[in-house]
Amino acid sequence: MLSSQVSGQTSLPPSSTKARVVSLSGALTEIVYALGAQSQLVAVDSTSTFPAATDALPKVGYMRQLSAEGVLAMRPTLLLATSEAGPANVITQLKNAGVKIVLIPSDHSFEELRHKVRAVASALGFIAEGKALEEKLQRDMTAVQLQIHSKTVLKTKPRVLFVLSHNGTPSVSGKGSAADAFIKLAGATNAVQEFEGYKPMTAEALLTAAPDLILTTKQSIDAVGGVEHLLERPGISLTPAGKNRRIVVMEALYMLGFGPRLPEALKEVSTHFFALAKH
């Protein structure tokens, strides 16, 4: 089979036999389940942690650090991935092996989520289910955006610092990341705009950023040994967020995956943002 890259509203005809699908994205895995197509899944990547049923599926590693051998061992007929999957040479190897790949561009937006739903539904032959899911997500997102807008009109947008520490060494998010997009969609301001992606920050830079609150993942809290250890780190402890112990902790995929739980996650985090931040 030829590899395929999905862009715009390209659709793929469903296979005449049930596909052996490997999902290389937690968000795409969630969409497969939301469509009711999970019986086609034979393996997933390590970011696929929701729903709980994914625990029973074989794992092929982290989506950014894949091995062709590990993926091909699952005998896939279809791979679902975003443009964040890699390394690039492994994706090329998988294409050369004749596996069909649905590769979806990732730009951390609601439109990206809609695109994911359309692409996965088309590839798996669940067109009607995909249309229904997309319409539900649009309704939910519209409602959440109205709620967030009502808060931002009445109150000052809080300055939020996103801290990532899955390997024990904290970095913070600048522009262009999933965290940056999530913070802005939730009606807040990313406290760090001086660089793109993730970088460690000095205590002085953290003080200059002056975040009203800290946003981080449950995995980061586990890696540093708890909320107290994070808030006591040099620099963080002296920020407005650190001094007032304002911190929001969420599960990584729920917050950063831009999957079908995005409206729910935005509603939850915006409530925390405007309840905790100074007015």
Classify domain 4-129 at the CATH topology level.
Rossmann fold (3.40.50)
On the question of a cis peptide bond just before residue 51, with omega within 30 degrees of 0, the verdict is: yes
Question: Which pTM value belongs to this model?
Answer: 0.89
Distance of CA 81 to the CA centre of its chain: 13
What's the CA gap between 221 and 200, in Å, rounded? 16
**Helix extents (H) in 10-126:** 26-35, 68-72, 88-96, 110-124
Alpha-helix residue ranges (DSSP H) falling in 84-109: 88-96
Instruction: Return the number of other C-beta atoms located less than 10 Å from residue 135's C-beta.
Output: 12
Beta bridge partners of 162: 215
Q: Of the candidates 87, 71, 124, 96, which has an alpha carbon nearest to the alpha carbon of residue 3?
A: 96
4-129 and 138-276 have identical folds: yes
Q: What pLDDT tens digit does each residue of the chain (279 aa) get?
A: 333 444 333 334 444 467 899 999 999 999 999 999 999 999 999 999 999 999 999 999 999 999 999 999 999 999 999 999 999 999 999 999 999 999 999 999 999 999 999 999 999 999 999 999 999 999 999 999 999 998 887 678 999 999 998 776 789 999 999 999 999 999 999 999 999 999 998 888 899 999 999 999 999 999 889 999 898 888 899 999 999 999 999 999 999 999 999 999 999 999 999 888 654
> For the structural domain made of 138-276, what CATH number should be given?
3.40.50.1980
Domain residue spans in the chain?
4-129, 138-276
